[in-house]
Homo-oligomer: A and B are copies of this chain.
Amino acid sequence: MATNESPLFWPAYIKDKVLYVLDETLIPTKVKYIPVKNTKEAVKVIREMKTRAFGQFLVVLNTFLVELKRNKLKGQSLVQAVEKIAQALNASRPTFPFADVTSIVVGWTHKAFKEDVDISSYLEKNIEGFIQGIRYRRLERVAKIAALTRDGDSVLTHCNVSGELAMAAALCQKEKKAVKFFATETRPYFQGAKLTAWELNQVGTQVTLVADNAIASLMKERLVNRVIIGSDRSCANGDIANKIGSYQIAVCAKEFGIPLCVLTQPSNTIKQGKDIPIELRDPKELLSYEGKKIYSPGVKGFYPGFDVVPHELITQSIAIKAGA
């Protein structure tokens, strides 16, 4: 599978004490990686959405590794440093559950300190193992997505699920299942158009781009028979937060009786959807295109980055337990 791996499936890696983060905003024009040497730079790539979704998870874990490799602290000062890194990462963006991930690393740090083992090597070993475990389970999930889709399916997706859909599409091809995709363009960042359509097209799968406003029309005409989306956050009751637009897709899927499958990372830290903090992005991102201002002065913009899909609207989830 590695040969068919989408760059979006594994958008960050460490080489020579530097973390390289795929700049998703340059795709499909360029596949370029941003060097990240410390927590501050990591927060910047997250906040500016150079990386997003699963990329954030990888960047968070790898930021600890980079800091450990570059700063040879020990004992109490290392514990404090780890806590500071965690705080900075947690404060980068509100909706993705950064604290769910960083608290694991902080927990390991305290454990190592208490048990008087070498904190640095203990953390490196654990974090690397954790990353590899997630990698293994993501590959398993790719296989589950492929198993879910049937010959002749037409799948609607929204935003970008970080390589998993493209790799599942490649698996379907191997199994001679004809599966095609409709991708919403996903305003204002166009992740559907720039990332999803690009990576599905890269693996040779038929993908058709539609505007975010074409959902009911597509479903009414039975041009899609299945929806698969990702999620940025899950609640104990099964509600999920995902890229703004997921909710209206879910409402329409219910109206037209089309099954909605969500790729989740279950978590119990938040009870229900209404408690998820929804990030309000800078309206400038909506009022401009590639840096160019496109609308009248005086017009306001409102751009929540996510919305919440209540669990009642979700037909099926395919879970990876991030904290496990």
User: Closest Cβ of chain B: how far from A169's Cβ, in Å?
Assistant: 14
**Cα distance A298–B294 in the bound complex, in angstroms:** 27
Copies of this chain, count? 2
**CB <8 Å contact, B247 and A298:** no
Residue of A201, A248, A255 with most chain B CB atoms under a 10 A cut-off: A248
A244 & B303 in contact (Cβ 8 Å cutoff): no
Interface-centre pick from A187, A207, A216, A307 (highest chain B CB count, 10 A): A216
Q: Distance (Å) between the CB of A272 and the closest chain B CB?
A: 13
Q: Which of A176-233 contact B (CB under 8 A)?
A: 182, 184-188, 190, 193-194, 197-198, 201, 206-217, 220, 223
A299's contact among B188, B209, B302, B303, by CB below 8 Å, is which?
B209
Task: Let me know if A295 and B252 touch, CB within 8 A.
Answer: no
Q: What's the least CB distance linking A187 to chain B, in Å?
A: 4
B247:A217 contact, CB within 8 angstroms: yes
A301 at the interface (CB under 8 A from B): yes
Nearest residue (CB) in B for A196 is B299
Please give me the residue from chain B that is nearest to A159 by CB atom.
B213
Taking CB atoms, residues of chain B closer than 8 Å to A243 are 213
Assess whether A296 is interfacial by the CB under 8 Å rule. yes
* Complexed CA–CA distance, A143 and B304 (Å): 34
Alpha-carbon separation in the docked complex, A188 to B213 (Å): 9
| Overall SS of chain A's interface | mixed
* B211 in contact with A211 (CB, 8 Å): no
Q: Which chain A residues numbered 2 to 30 have a C-beta less than 8 Å away from chain B? A: 28
- Whether B206 lies near A300 (C-beta < 8 A) is yes
Residues of A within 8 A of B (CB-CB), count? 55
Q: Is the Cβ of A187 less than 8 Å from the Cβ of B187?
A: yes
Chain B residue at minimal CB-CB distance from A209: B301
A223 to B280, CA, bound (A): 14
Q: Is residue A287 within 8 Å, beta carbon to beta carbon, of the partner chain?
A: yes
Cβ–Cβ contact A211 & B286, under 8 A: yes
Residue A101 at the B interface, CB < 8 A?
no
Given A210-B302, A213-B245, 14 other A-B contacts at CB below 8 A? A187-B187, A193-B295, A193-B299, A197-B296, A207-B300, A209-B299, A210-B286, A213-B244, A214-B245, A216-B248, A217-B247, A217-B304, A217-B307, A220-B247
